[in-house]
Every structure is written in C-alpha cells, then in structure tokens.
Copies of this chain bind each other. A is one copy, B any other.
Amino acid sequence: MKARVTVTLKNGVLDPQGKAIEGALGTLGFAGVGSVRQGKVFDVELNGTDQAKAEADLKAMCEKLLANTVIENYSVDFA
C-alpha cells in the first residue's frame, strides 16, 4: 500500500528557507508571489492491506520520527 505523508510548519513558525525562496523568485522576475513555505513529503510503501492499521502506524511514525509536532503539522493520504 502506498501512502504519502506531508509535513508542514505550523502557522506562526518562522520559515527562513521559505523566505529565501520567496526572495529568489522575486529576483528571478516572478511578481505576485505572496509567500512561500516549505515542507517535506514522505512517500511510504507499506506491506499489508489493512488501511486503518496502516493509518495508525503512519501517525505513530509521524509522532516518533517524521515530524516535530512542536512546530510541525502532518497529514496522511493514501494513493
């Protein structure tokens, strides 16, 4: 089973990397870019077909390893 975990910074958390990209896009001539925030995506391939178990496992993985829940949100989607 294929799943995609998306980890993004919470609102209010400073994102210097996103700010740098915003500046670079302006320098490249892209007008009208309001803001850019960068996050991470993990494409996880899981054995088994029980989607409920897979979702529970993926949430546990996010809590333990993939996301820093103090400053980041995560979401789990199945392909």
Where the two chains meet, the residues of A that have a C-beta atom closer than 8 Å to any C-beta of B are 6, 8, 18, 21, 24-25, 28, 30, 32-48, 57, 60-61, 64-66
Q: How many copies, total?
A: 2
- Interface contact A39-B40, CB-CB below 8 Å: yes
- Interface contact B60-A46, CB-CB below 8 Å: no
When distances are taken between beta carbons in the complex, the residues of chain B under 8 Å from A43 are 8, 36-39
When distances are taken between beta carbons in the complex, the residues of chain B under 8 Å from A60 are 30
Given known A28-B64, A66-B21, contact A41–B41 (CB-CB < 8 A): yes
- Which residue on B lies nearest to A24, using beta carbons? B65
- Interface contact B47-A32, CB-CB below 8 Å: yes
Shortest distance from the beta carbon of A27 to any chain B beta carbon, whole Å: 10
